[in-house]
Structure formats: C-alpha cells, structure tokens
Structure 1
Amino acid sequence: MSLVISDEIIQASGLSEQELILEVIILLFQKNNISIGKASQLAQMPLLQFQNELAQRNITIHYDESDLEVDLQNLGMME
C-alpha cells in the first residue's frame, strides 16, 4: 500500500518530501506506534544515525522487551 501526499501539503509544510517522511516516522516512533529499529529502517538510516537525529531533537529513546521482540521479528530472527 502506498500513501500519496499532495504537492500542496509538501509545499505548505516547507519541507522536502524526504524531510516530511522523516517527520512522520519520528512522530510514529514518539507515539510508540513503531519501534526504533523499524523507524530507522523506514527512514533508511543506520540505527545510530537515527538515534542521533532523535538526540538532536531532544526526543527520549524508549526501548523495552516488546520493542526488542518486534525488531527481532523484523529481522526474521523470531517466529
């Protein structure tokens, strides 16, 4: 499934398409909708780079056992 964001929304945001996508990913992470591993994967950033992005924004990194399980499933290490 794909999501189409109109040019009008992108222009109104004042961000590039890639910047807007990153903002959405970070918002999903902040709301605990996705794990940090999934967020870095979606952002196409190495985990450390994504963590640095969060740190620059003063966003607390939450990571617990359920996040670990999700990340392991995403990596195909758990069934």
Structure 2
Amino acid sequence: MSIVISDKVLQTIQMSDTELLQEIAIMLFEQERFTLGQASNFALMNQLEFQRLLASRKISLHYDIAELREDVKSLSANDWR
C-alpha cells in the first residue's frame, strides 16, 4: 500500500517527509505495533539513531526476546553484517 501526502499537507503541518515518517514510527512503536527494528527502518534511521530519538523524547524501549528474535531474523534476511 502506498500513501501520497502532498507537499501542501506537509507545509500545513510544518513537517518534512522525513519528520512525518519519524512521527509515525514513534507512534506505532509506542503503541507496540512496531518493534524497534521495524520502527527504525520505517523512519529511515539505523536503530541507534532511532533509540537516540526516543531517548530525546523520554520514550522508553520495550524490547523483549521475541522482538530480538524478529530483528535478528530481519537482519539475516537482509544479509546485514
């Protein structure tokens, strides 16, 4: 699924496309709909950068074994080393 958000909307909310992606990723992470890995990928950031963004907003990590396994699987699938 693709969503097109016009430049006019971005100007209205005074956000860049990158900032909007980050806000959506943070929201879905807080709602536990995204893992840390999924949220950082969606926000186009590496996990450390995304963790720093969360920390700057005093949002704690909720990271369990299941999420670790999912992230390892995701990294393996992408042949990330």
> Could you say whether these structures have the same fold, taking a TM-score greater than 0.5 normalized by the shorter chain as the test?
yes
Unaligned runs of 5+ in 1: none
* Count of equivalent residues: 77
TM-score, normalised to structure 2's length?
A: 0.81
Query: 1:16-73: per-residue Cα shift (whole Å, max 9, x none)?
Result: 1111111111111111011001111222222111111100011111101221122123
For the pair 1:63 / 2:63, whether they are aligned, the reply is yes
Q: Which amino acid aligns with 2:10?
A: I
Quote the Cα distance in structure 2 between the aligned partners of 1:63 and 1:32. Answer: 10
Unaligned runs of 5+ in 2: none
1:2 shift after superposition: 1.5
Paired position in structure 1 for 2:25: 25
Question: 1:1-79 to 2 correspondence within 5 Å?
Answer: 1-76=1-76
Runs of 4+ in 1 over 3 A off after TM superposition: none
Q: Which amino acid aligns with 1:21?
A: L
Percentage of identical aligned residues = 42
Quote the Cα distance in structure 1 between the aligned partners of 2:73 and 2:8. Answer: 37
**RMSD in angstroms over aligned alpha carbons?**
1.6
